Amino acid sequence: MNIAVCAKRVPLSGGRWELTADGTEIDTSGASMGFTLSPHEECAAEAAVQLVEEFGGSSTVITVGVADSEEQIRSLLAVGIDRGVIVETDGGEWDPQGTSSALIEQVRAGSPDGAYDLVLLGTEAADTADFQVGIRIAHALGWPVVTNVKGLKITDGVARCERAVGSYREIYEVSLPAVITVKDGLNIPRYPSVPGRIKARKKSVDFIAGERPAPRLEKVKLALAVEEQRSAEILGTGTGNGADAVPALVELFRTIGVI
């Protein structure tokens, strides 16, 4: 089984978000800033690794992003994805249609091991939450798509998908080839092992020049969510082991009416 996983490098803040002076980007220059992948996509990658362990074949991670996305791609190679493809951008944001077109082209091209049987993505991107790239890819390829998947089992070329809805799960079945968009909680992604990291350095990552189409969903500016910057009222003396705050906590439970 040949599997493509689509994953996107996104900024991660250790504290609060800051924006650039012109308000169009997240300021990634701060010391507490880093980059990461969405948990949804980490789960997609884990599922791909498990499926290749079960059925053979290979897995490829595809991203549309800056050259530095290689760091995130390698983090997935370290947990068992076989190779990476980066459709390289100059850092300007691609809208969901532009992103989808680039990914569709890569999925159509197939992997060195043959055509893809399965494309796994997150249900929504961590940063932009567009809820659409997987569905666009499916229509372009003429493949079925199941979204919001939190349970996946493949038997005889049929994917049984569980979709979490409130307190129950809906079951869908689709024949491969198919697109499946998954959610955090599908599995527990493994941590990279030391040998895994060493192997990842030798795996291939292809760079392909991307040309950003004119955005049809066009970002104009960003703003931070307006909320009062609170400063928590410290209960107790705030100096000891905290147990001196217990009477105040119980009093608070009473005031709020939870006891």
Partner 1 sequence: MILVIVDHDRGVLDPTSVQAISGALALDSEVDVLVVGAAGRDVVGELASFGANTVHLAVHDSVTDFTPVASARAALELISRVSPAAVLVTGTPRGNEVLAHIAAILDLPMAAECLEIALGNDGVHQVVRNRWGGNIMETARVHSTLLLAAFAPHAVRAESAVGTGTIAEFTPALSDADLAVRILDRVGEGATGVGLTEARVIVSGGRGVGGPEGFAILEELASLLDAAIGCSRVVTSNGWRPHSEQVGQTGTKVAPDLYIACGISGATQHIAGCRTSKTIIAINTDKDAPIMGYAHYAVIGDLHTILPELVAATRAAKE
Ligand X SMILES: Cc1cc2nc3c(=O)[nH]c(=O)nc-3n(C[C@H](O)[C@H](O)[C@H](O)COP(=O)(O)OP(=O)(O)OC[C@H]3O[C@@H](n4cnc5c(N)ncnc54)[C@H](O)[C@@H]3O)c2cc1C
Ligand Y SMILES: Nc1ncnc2c1ncn2[C@@H]1O[C@H](COP(=O)(O)O)[C@@H](O)[C@H]1O
CA 155, CA 136: separation in Å to the nearest integer? 25
Applying CB under 6 A, which part among 32-40, 106-114, 172-180, 247-255 lies near ligand X?
32-40
User: Quick one: 224 exposed, middle or buried, by C-beta within 10 A (0-12, 13-18, 19+)?
Assistant: exposed
Q: Per the structure block, which two tokens stand in for 197?
A: 């990291």
User: Binders of ligand X among 7-26, rule CB under 6 A?
Assistant: 12
- Residue (97 or 235) nearer to ligand Y, CB: 97
Choose one: 1-9, 17-25, 208-216, 227-235; the region binding ligand Y (CB under 6 A): 1-9
Interacting stretch for ligand Y, rule CB under 6 A, among 5-13, 157-165, 203-211, 249-257?
A: 5-13
Is residue 43 part of the contact set for ligand Y (CB under 6 A)?
A: no
Phi-psi region of 242 (alpha: psi -120 to 50; beta: other; left: phi over 0): left
Q: Which of 38, 69, 89, 181 binds ligand X (CB under 6 A)?
A: 38
Q: CA-to-CA distance for 36 and 224, rounded, in angstroms?
A: 20
Q: Map the footprint of ligand X across residues 39-68, applying CB under 6 A.
A: 39
Residue 97 near which of ligand X, ligand Y, partner 1, none (CB within 5-8 Å, type-dependent): partner 1
**Residue of 57, 80, 84, 96 interacting with ligand Y (CB under 6 A):** 96
Kindly give, in sequence order, each residue whose CB lies less than 8 Å from that of residue 258, ignoring residues fewer than 6 positions away. Answer: none
CB 6 within 8 A of CB 62: yes
